[in-house]
């Protein structure tokens, strides 16, 4: 048996052994065999397929507690997309032009893909894969194709790409690793793989003439290698690594609820990023110290009506109570960019990430904003809550928000409605403007939380979804390193705390730098917390020479220096 080695780009580290299973769906061949009916028959077939596809998505959400925040968000986005009136009108319009229902779906999907392709922002352009996912789900119903299912256990799943809704339905008990031909760190598929803890690599090219379904395969997503048809000797060696990996996981979970204190006595709060109250169960299980980012926009996205005050109070109260006295940072509505909702009538924009979003919307729709502020203050009676303002670029946005908070406090006093008087107010530092103005902004808020995902893309002006330039998207770029240093320094000089809630917060390579800067809090997906907490326990806070790292001039130098500290 000839052994072969392949390489790929690591997304989620780890080692996995299993049987390969390819995921391919030949829609074109099925469409060739499709018998087109009359216009009315095709419309009826489409409506039936639409109902079945919606039922599938509803079923995926029925057991919400088993889904991660990322999985639930994506399925909910697909629910909104499949009901999008523009998308449905396009499909029905093409059927009226004498197309078959499957061809009409494909044409409408192509139209939407072309629209997304013209958008400058890489994250939003990456969302074109979601419309493809929804379209494929409709096609499978129209063509009476079976839904994909994993066969057996210890499966290594391989595909050019995997639809996010299929990924969300995969069982961690069956699937051990994911190999994708394409994909970026911002794709929904990769986000779900990371949330599920699947060992994951992208940029992997496997030919079914080299390896067939059911063949043995080893994925070494530490070295970035894939071994096809491994020898018995290699299987034995890697089984030992997998066993050690599982023992380490159990060890970390056993210590998950212990504090994260460096060897020299500095405690770092490790908290959770959540999107709904049900996410708190995992946050508590994985030892998260409260919530560093509660994305409240999903309360607004789940209905065509704005959530009223009582609904919002109930949600925020639930999070506060489950946190057991630990701080929960509630980000005010951050609609816009890649997130849309039917309850707000917002015009389409060429580049929504740089347009009308987040605090810009809230300050123009003050009645809606005041309801949210009232709700947070009222829920603050049941735990420790903080308000975080997103997408800040000007001091006036901070001052105007604080003025609105005082207004709603006065209104509730007159109405004899009890509320928490001492809810801290901070900002999410995610724009170059807020990083540059951090020394001024720090004088007017109670905390900073650095959102590295947007800060990196705005600072470096890089399309991370474009494979030609995605290598430039790197938070170890000296420009980003200097921005983070500036923000944390400004916070501490003003006597406020500084946290981080972007992808960098869970990166083991970044920890020595962040500890040396005196970062106070790190917020991440709950499943990452045990690993990060254990790393903190084994580091000295001053292990990184801040002056040295600030003197480095390239991303490669920064990475090399930090690697030398681990």
Which of 169-183, 296-310, 544-558 is predicted least confidently?
296-310
pLDDT value, residue 119: 59
pLDDT at 417 over 60: yes
3-class SS at 412? helix
At a CB cut-off of 8 Å and minimum separation 6, what does 342 contact? Answer: 80, 301, 303, 304
C-alpha separations of 362 from 337, 369, 373, 400, 552 in Å:
14, 5, 11, 11, 40
- Confidence label for 67 from pLDDT (cuts 50, 70 and 90): low
- Confidence label for 490 from pLDDT (cuts 50, 70 and 90): very high
pLDDT value, residue 97: 93
pLDDT at 452 over 70: yes
Beta strands in 242-366 (DSSP E): 260-261, 267-274, 291-295, 328-331
pLDDT value, residue 294: 94
pLDDT value, residue 533: 97
Residue ranges matching CATH 3.50.30.10 in the chain: 4-24+148-237
Closest by CA to 477, choosing from 457, 506, 447, is: 457
196-235 confidence digits (pLDDT tens):
788 999 888 887 678 888 899 999 999 999 999 899 999 9
What value does the mean pLDDT take over residues 154-176? 83
Closest by CA to 389, choosing from 436, 340, 341, 451, is: 451
Q: What percent of the chain has pLDDT over 90?
A: 56
The better pLDDT of the pair 307, 491 is held by 491
Most confident region among 363-367, 407-411, 455-459 by mean pLDDT? 407-411
3-class SS at 156? strand
What value does the mean pLDDT take over residues 329-338? 78
Q: Which of 158, 288, 341, 501 is catalytic?
A: 501
Most confident region among 166-170, 204-208, 441-445, 527-531 by mean pLDDT? 441-445
Third-level CATH fold of 268-564:
TIM Barrel (3.20.20)
Which of 101-105, 112-116, 228-232 is predicted least confidently?
112-116
The better pLDDT of the pair 322, 30 is held by 322
3-class SS at 384? coil
pLDDT value, residue 59: 82
pLDDT value, residue 565: 93
pLDDT value, residue 11: 83
- Is the CB of residue 274 less than 8 Å from the CB of residue 315? no
pTM exceeding the 0.85 threshold for the entire prediction:
no
The better pLDDT of the pair 453, 1 is held by 453
Residue ranges matching CATH 3.20.20.60 in the chain: 268-564
pLDDT at 342 over 90: no
Structure tokens of 118? 């013209």
Closest by CA to 487, choosing from 434, 523, 444, 558, is: 434
Is 501 an active-site residue? yes
Q: By CB neighbour count within 10 A (0-12 exposed, 13-18 middle, 19+ buried), where does 181 fall?
A: middle
pLDDT value, residue 62: 74
Give dist(CA 300, CA 307) in Å, integer: 6
pLDDT at 435 over 50: yes
- Confidence label for 503 from pLDDT (cuts 50, 70 and 90): confident
Give dist(CA 152, CA 175) in Å, integer: 9
pLDDT value, residue 339: 47
Give dist(CA 371, CA 319) in Å, integer: 18
45-66 confidence digits (pLDDT tens):
999 999 998 888 888 777 666 6
Mean pLDDT, the chain, integer: 87
pLDDT at 9 over 80: yes
pLDDT value, residue 464: 59
- Confidence label for 338 from pLDDT (cuts 50, 70 and 90): very low
C-alpha separations of 111 from 107, 131, 163 in Å:
6, 10, 19
- Confidence label for 121 from pLDDT (cuts 50, 70 and 90): low
Structure tokens of 389? 């303002």
What value does the mean pLDDT take over residues 149-167? 81
Is 78 an active-site residue? no
- Confidence label for 302 from pLDDT (cuts 50, 70 and 90): low
Q: By CB neighbour count within 10 A (0-12 exposed, 13-18 middle, 19+ buried), where does 29 fall?
A: exposed
Residue ranges matching CATH 1.10.274.10 in the chain: 27-143
Give dist(CA 133, CA 158) in Å, integer: 17
pLDDT value, residue 357: 66
C-alpha separations of 457 from 112, 115, 391, 445 in Å:
24, 21, 13, 25
Domain range 4-24+148-237, CATH class = alpha beta
pLDDT value, residue 351: 58
3-class SS at 289? coil
Q: Which of 78, 188, 289, 340 is catalytic?
A: 188
Domain range 27-143, CATH class = mainly alpha
């Amino acid at each position: 048996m000839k052994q072969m080695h392949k390489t790929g780009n690591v997304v989620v580290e780890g080692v996995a052994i299993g049987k390969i299973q390819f995921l391919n769906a030949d829609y074109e061949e099925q469409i060739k065999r499709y018998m087109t009916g009359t216009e009315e028959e095709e419309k009826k077939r489409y409506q039936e397929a639409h109902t079945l596809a919606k039922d599938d998505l509803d079923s995926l959400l029925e057991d919400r507690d088993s889904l991660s925040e990322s999985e639930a968000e994506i399925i909910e986005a697909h629910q909104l997309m499949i009901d999008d009136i523009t998308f449905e009108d396009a499909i029905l319009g093409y059927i009226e032009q004498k197309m078959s229902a499957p061809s009409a779906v494909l044409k409408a999907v192509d139209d939407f893909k072309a629209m997304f392709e013209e958008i400058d922002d890489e994250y939003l352009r990456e969302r074109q894969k979601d419309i493809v996912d929804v379209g494929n789900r409709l096609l499978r119903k129209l063509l009476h194709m079976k839904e994909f299912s994993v066969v057996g256990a210890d499966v290594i799943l391989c595909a050019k790409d995997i639809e996010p809704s299929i990924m969300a339905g995969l069982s961690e008990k069956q699937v051990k690793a994911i190999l994708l031909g394409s994909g970026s760190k911002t794709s929904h598929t990769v986000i779900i793989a990371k949330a599920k803890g699947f060992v994951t690599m992208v940029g992997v090219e496997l030919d079914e003439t080299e390896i067939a379904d059911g063949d043995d395969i080893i994925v070494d997503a530490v070295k970035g290698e894939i071994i096809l048809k491994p020898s018995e000797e290699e299987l034995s060696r890697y089984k030992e690594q997998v066993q050690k990996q599982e023992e380490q996981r159990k060890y970390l979970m056993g210590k998950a609820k212990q504090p994260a204190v460096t060897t020299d006595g500095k405690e770092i709060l490790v908290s959770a990023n959540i999107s709904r109250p049900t996410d708190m169960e995992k946050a508590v299980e994985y030892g998260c110290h409260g919530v560093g980012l509660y994305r409240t926009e999903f309360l607004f996205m789940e209905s065509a009506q704005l959530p009223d005050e009582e609904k919002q109070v109930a949600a925020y109260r639930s999070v506060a109570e489950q946190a057991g006295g630990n701080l929960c940072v509630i980000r005010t509505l951050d609609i816009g960019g890649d997130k849309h909702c039917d309850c707000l009538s917002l015009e389409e924009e060429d580049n929504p990430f740089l347009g009308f979003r987040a605090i810009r919307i809230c300050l123009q729709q003050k009645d809606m904003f005041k309801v949210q502020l009232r709700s947070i203050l009222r829920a603050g009676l049941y735990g420790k809550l903080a308000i975080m303002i997103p997408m800040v670029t000007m001091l006036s946005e901070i001052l105007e928000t604080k003025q609105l908070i005082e207004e709603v406090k006065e209104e509730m006093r007159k109405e004899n409605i009890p509320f928490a008087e001492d809810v801290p107010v901070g900002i999410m530092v995610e724009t170059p403007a807020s990083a540059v103005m951090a020394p001024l902004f720090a004088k007017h808020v109670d905390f900073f939380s650095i959102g590295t995902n947007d800060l990196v893309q705005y600072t470096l002006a890089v399309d991370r979804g474009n494979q030609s330039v995605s290598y430039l998207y790197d938070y170890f770029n000296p420009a980003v390193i200097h921005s983070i240093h500036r923000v944390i320094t400004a916070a501490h000089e003003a006597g406020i705390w500084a946290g981080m809630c972007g992808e960098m917060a869970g990166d083991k390579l970044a920890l020595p730098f962040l500890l040396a800067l005196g970062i106070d809090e790190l917020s991440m997906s709950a499943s990452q917390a045990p690993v990060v907490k254990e790393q903190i326990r084994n580091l000295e806070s001053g292990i990184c020479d801040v002056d040295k790292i600030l003197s480095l001039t390239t991303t490669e130098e920064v990475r090399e220096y930090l690697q030398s500290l681990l």
